[in-house]
Amino acid sequence: MLKMFIIMACVAGSLALSACGTSRGNAALTDGAVGAGGGALLGAVAGFNPLVGAAVGGAAGATVGAATH
């Protein structure tokens, strides 16, 4: 149950910070950083490698940030 709470808190925090950035490049950098942090935390909580989680989360965050701005 604690893992689920931590995962939900990470998702909520990522969504709250995902609107940062005034340009496409800035949004990609900010969302990439948020995605990397969230991915590392989720990877550690889920028992996977945090570095892989950070890489996947960072790439996904940067892609979404650039595409949605």
Q: Is 19 left (phi over 0), alpha (psi -120 to 50) or beta?
A: alpha
- φ, ψ dihedrals at 23, nearest 5°: -130, 170
Asked whether 65 and 27 are in contact (CB, 8 A), the reply is: yes
Q: What is the pLDDT of residues 8-41, one digit of tens each?
A: 777 776 666 655 667 888 888 888 888 888 888 8
In this predicted structure, what is the pLDDT of residue 5? 74
Asked whether 35 and 29 are in contact (CB, 8 A), the reply is: no
In this predicted structure, what is the pLDDT of residue 21? 64
Mean pLDDT of the chain: 80
